[in-house]
Amino acid sequence: MADGNLDFVGKREGWTVLATDFEADPDVQLNLDLLFGWSPEGRVQWSDVRITELSAAPPSRMVTLAAVNGNPKEPKSPADCVRFYCERVEAAASQGADLVVLPEFMNVVGLQDQAEFAEPIPGPTSDYLAEAAREKGIHVAAGILERRDKALMGITPGDTYPVFNVDFGTLGYMICYDAHFPEVARCLSLNGAEVIAFSNMGDGREKGAMWEPYIRTRAMDSQVHIVASVNSGRSCIVSPKGEILAMASKEPGEIAIAECDLTSTITNYTGQPIRRRYDQVRRADTFRGLSHHLYDE
């Protein structure tokens, strides 16, 4: 007997449609029970229940993800920085990468007076990267120090969590300080992200010991792949199981690359996949305290 929650698969005629797959075992009897809780005004109704035999397991969804280490050597201009990274984009594309993530401030890292070189988007750096991505037929995510009117973006806090539908799935994006807050990865996950690109300057907390557990925890908490590119440290790719699928050394420009299955997920005690169960059963009504600042009355 297997135990598992149903997964959301869509809407039909005003109803929410849920389903799940079980691996058949000829020696085990199937008992199907529908349980419903935490809603005093709710009700359970069986309607058009079907057990359908599948000829094969659901197909894997494979994608190749890459993260690039930062720190070009003694750049003199943003153009020098961009050339350094575009060489790595080309190298990752030659290895089959579908997505290449570059670190934070990739257009100014290593330059003096970085604010002086902040640029608009669209602008020289974003145009250059976009052309490189089009030429190779891949996606590139990069942290660019952007000037918008009088504000420096990348330093000025944002307030939304957009996700983007790309050809391999749904992509979210976070930078540097976002990793300190589990709510950021969770909001991106709730908005549908399957992969989170993460551009970071570095993580020197506890002499770098915090970097790996933070990324692994964020991936497991929100059941996403995280592609983490860092200037000072080791770029890495982490699965929803918390596995380090690839990790670079600290060598500048080194690439961490891995083929990933977007259907990968942790399982419960019976071996059934968790997938987005935590998103389905989370008690958002009990989390109101998360919306208040520490010193609010």
The pLDDT tens digits for 215-241 are 999 999 999 999 999 999 999 999 999
pLDDT of residue 209: 87
Position 3 confidence tier, pLDDT thresholds 50, 70, 90: low
Q: Are 198 and 175 in contact (CB under 8 A)?
A: yes
Per-domain boundaries in the chain: 1-58+273-281, 62-261
Average pLDDT over residues 107-126: 93
Q: What is the pLDDT of residues 272-293, one digit of tens each?
A: 788 887 777 788 888 888 888 8
Residues 6+ apart with CB under 8 A from 114: 105, 108, 145
CATH superfamily of 62-261: Carbon-nitrogen hydrolase (3.60.110.10)
Q: What is the DSSP string of 190-254?
A: HTT-SEEEEEEEE--GGGGTTHHHHHHHHHHHHT-EEEEEEEES--EEE-TT--EEEE--S-TT-
Q: What is the pLDDT of residues 252-274, one digit of tens each?
A: 999 999 999 999 999 887 777 88
Edge-to-edge order in the sheet of strand 255-261: 139-141, 99-101, 62-68, 255-261
pLDDT of residue 82: 95
Triad 32, 35, 290: Cα angle to 5°: 140
Q: What is the pLDDT of residues 142-186, one digit of tens each?
A: 999 999 988 888 888 889 999 999 999 999 999 999 999 999 999
Q: Are 165 and 158 in contact (CB under 8 A)?
A: no
Task: Report whether pLDDT(1) > 60.
Answer: no
Position 24 confidence tier, pLDDT thresholds 50, 70, 90: low
User: Of residues 15 and 66, which shows the higher confidence score?
Assistant: 66
Is the backbone peptide bond immediately before 182 cis, with ω within 30 degrees of 0? no
Q: What is the pLDDT of residues 60-105, one digit of tens each?
A: 899 999 999 999 999 999 999 999 999 999 999 999 999 999 999 9
